[in-house]
Amino acid sequence: MRNAAFITAIVVFLGAGLAWIWWPDEPDEERPMGERIVKSDAEWRQVLTDKQFQVTRQAGTERAWTGEYAKCHQDGVYTCVCCGQPLFDSKTKFESGTGWPSFYEPAVDKNVVKKKEGILPWAPTEVLCSRCDAHLGHVFNDAPSQPTGLRYCINSAALKLVERGSETSEKE
C-alpha cells in the first residue's frame, strides 16, 4: 500500500487535456527481503556486456527475434544475468509469437517485482529482479490459453539459462 510520505507523481501532459501519470518505485520495505545487490553503473559495466547493461540497467528492449533465448527450448532455470537470482523456469516458457522469451509465471513469485508504468488500463507493467532491480521486460494480461493468463515478455539479454542439474554460480 502506498504511504502518503512516499507518493510522488510525475504528470506528463499529452495534449487535449490528457495526462499520463507515473509513480516511482515503491519503498524497499514493500519488496521481498533478501540479500540486495547495489552497484554503481561503472561496476555494472565491468560485469555486463553493452547490450546487457542497456537492457537491465537502462530499461532497454532488444529487438524482437534477436535474443538468444527467443527460440530456446532447453530445460533449465532462467536466472538474472546481473545477480544470478532464479527468475523463470523453462517449464513455464511458451511460444507467444512476439519474438521475446515468454513465461506464464515466475519460478519464485518474490524474485520478481511488477511495477505499473501508468494509470491507464493499457499502460505496461514493468518486471524487475527483486534482488538487484534489473529491468527484465514487461508482463501482460493477454495469454488466455496459459494457466495464469499472464505473459511475462522478457529480454534474453536480462537472462542466463542454467541447465537443470548443473550448478548455479551467482555473480558477486
Active site residues: 153
Residue 47's φ and ψ, nearest 5 degrees, are -110, -10
Burial zone of 135 (CB within 10 Å; 0-12 exposed, 13-18 middle, 19+ buried): buried
